[in-house]
Amino acid sequence: MEESWDFEFLSRIVDGFVSFLSEFVDDWLANDMRVSIFKILFSWLVVSLIAIHFAWRVYGNTVNDMYYRQGTGGQNGGTPDTAPHRSGWESAAGDTIKTHRE
């Protein structure tokens, strides 16, 4: 009993898909304005996806290396764990380190 139900369900899905495709092909072959707009937008989408694919193929490693920098510094090129040394103009001033006294 379940096999006939599965076959009926599957045949309805296939029939619906085939009828959708036949209507789509009929509309595609018609010289209608909405079909022309759909063709333009669909071709724009396809060209954009192809361009993104080739751009990622060419520049993907560079972008990945920029995001995950190697070497010292934290994750993603942050500041290093050690404190930086004082620069020349700070040490040349000869100021003593001021401390807070209560």
Q: Mean pLDDT lowest for which of 3-12, 18-27, 59-68, 73-82?
A: 73-82
Which is more confidently placed, 88 or 37? 37
Per-residue pLDDT at 66 = 78
| Average pLDDT taken over every residue of the chain | 76
Mean of pLDDT values over 58-73: 75
Cα 43–55–69 angle (5° rounding)?
Answer: 150
Say whether pLDDT at 70 is over 70. no
Which is more confidently placed, 80 or 100? 100
| Dihedral (CA of 36, 42, 45, 46) sign | negative
Alpha carbons 53 and 40: distance in angstroms, whole number: 20
Alpha carbons 23 and 30: distance in angstroms, whole number: 11
The answer to whether 36 touches 27, Cβ cutoff 8 Å, is: no
Per-residue pLDDT at 8 = 86
Mean of pLDDT values over 78-83: 51
